[in-house]
Amino acid sequence: MIRTFKASHFRCLENIELALAPDFNLIFGANASGKTSLLEALAYLGRGKSFRGASTANLIQHGAQEFVLFGQVDNDGRHRRIGVRNSRAGLEIRVDGEGGGAAALAEALPLQVIDPEVHNLVAGGPEQRRRFLDWVAFHVEPEHLTAWRRFRRVLKQRNAALRGNSRPAAINSWNAEFVELSMALDASRRRSLEVAKGSLEGYGQGLLGTDLGFDYQQGWKKELALEALLTEGLERDLQLGATQYGPHRADLKIRYDERQARKLVSRGQQKLLASAMILAAAETAQTALERPLLLLLDDPAAELDADSLDRLMEAVAMLGCQVVATSLERAALSIPEGAAVFHVEHGVLSPAGEPVKRPKTL
Ligand SMILES: Nc1ncnc2c1ncn2[C@@H]1O[C@H](COP(=O)(O)OP(=O)(O)OP(=O)(O)O)[C@@H](O)[C@H]1O
Ligand SMILES: [Mg+2]
């Protein structure tokens, strides 16, 4: 968990420093006060990138040259200092004074985000669901990351050969490694999904009151060998300038009953479903890592009625992770006793004393 956090020149946050509570932290403030920016900064420290997909130029405070983030994390008594400095010259990552990559940050500060865009996990294209599944797999099976990186490199090279109109023999020379890594990714994704299944069903019941099913679609025709598909599909790959079959085309299909399907046109229901998936992923990772994750909840009240919001917050409490949540009003969320509360205004944070509890709706 993260104990102290400092950010300077990150979006509207000129210079902030805060001591975080181990369980629940609430940041409240008006529109454009800097709530999402603060969560984005925290997530950047754990991922080396923005969850809003923003470029470095957009993240550096207007008029500044670089932003710096720093955190002290405490995992089971093991203290670590992690830092990120980013300027137009590039990203510099430090973990306990040593240089490293984004994987070192993720290892020190594993986190998940539920923000108002979360419904895209359900309603958007397959890429987000692949990323979701790979994130689970990274935590359940650490070798998944190595295989995933190697696969990405091979895919890039094969696609470059396709676009460069290389001879068929040169393109096909990538096939053996491509197939081997595809099989490895496919197998670890399937196993990880199996491990996460209980949590997915549990949070599906908790948030939507329904049985959810998840079917993994591997990215090529099930009954056919990938090797043969690559050779047979070469003509089309050349036309597309991209490899059409493989785990980079996988998807995670969500199964629900008819009653649920009708409801799932609603944004609020999509948000609940996507949140159930994120909480299940977080629970699976927590169990694998044997330590609590950081969960960033940006404006959880958005799109949800009071009942749904209560269910979401109860599910979050069940997960038992460290939470940093934002809201427009201080009393908009029912938060546990002992939570740390901060008010943010024009990018400046101040502790806000004893929390006010929202009375339960009758
Ligand atoms: N690079 C930057 N430099 C300075 N200010 C920035 C930069 N990028 C964004 N901002 C400003 O930061 C402010 C805070 O934005 P943020 O999205 O964090 O607000 P918020 O509190 O989450 O608001 P809302 O309640 O509407 O979600 C905005 O006024 C935005 O224009
Ligand atoms: Mg916001």
Which pLDDT belongs to residue 4? Answer: 98
Which pLDDT belongs to residue 354? Answer: 59
CA dist list (Å): 298 to 111, 276, 327 = 13, 15, 7
Is it the case that residue 355 has pLDDT exceeding 80? no
Distance in Å, CA 268 to ligand 2 centroid: 17
Q: Dump pLDDT digits (tens) for 318-337.
A: 999 999 999 999 988 988 88
pTM: 0.94
Instruction: Establish whether residue 34 lines the binding site of ligand 1, counting it when its CB lies within 6 angstroms of any ligand atom.
Output: yes
Distance in Å, CA 346 to ligand 1 centroid: 9
Domain topology for 116-292? Glutathione S-transferase Yfyf (Class Pi); Chain A, domain 2 (1.20.1050)
Instruction: Establish whether residue 11 lines the binding site of ligand 1, counting it when its CB lies within 6 angstroms of any ligand atom.
Output: yes
pLDDT averaged over every residue in the chain: 94
The Cα angle at residue 259 between residues 250 and 210, in degrees rounded to 5: 70
Is it the case that residue 356 has pLDDT exceeding 60? no
Instruction: Establish whether residue 86 lines the binding site of ligand 1, counting it when its CB lies within 6 angstroms of any ligand atom.
Output: no
* Same fold across 1-110+294-362 and 116-292: no
Q: Can you say whether the dihedral through the CA atoms of 347, 36, 324, 138 is positive or negative?
A: negative
Which pLDDT belongs to residue 199? Answer: 97
**Token pair for 141:** 């099976």
CA dist list (Å): 34 to 12, 41, 57, 361 = 6, 10, 17, 29
% of the chain at pLDDT higher than 90? 86
Is it the case that residue 360 has pLDDT exceeding 70? no
Instruction: Establish whether residue 64 lines the binding site of ligand 1, counting it when its CB lies within 6 angstroms of any ligand atom.
Output: no
Q: Dump pLDDT digits (tens) for 23-64.
A: 999 999 999 999 999 999 999 999 999 999 999 999 999 999
Q: List CB-based neighbours of ion ligand 2 within 5 Å.
A: 35-36
pLDDT (mean) for 295-299: 98
Amino acid at residue number 16: I
What are the structural domain ranges in the chain? 1-110+294-362, 116-292
Architecture of domain 1-110+294-362: 3-Layer(aba) Sandwich (3.40)
Q: Dump pLDDT digits (tens) for 233-276.
A: 999 999 999 999 999 999 999 988 777 777 777 899 999 999 99
Distance in Å, CA 132 to ligand 1 centroid: 27
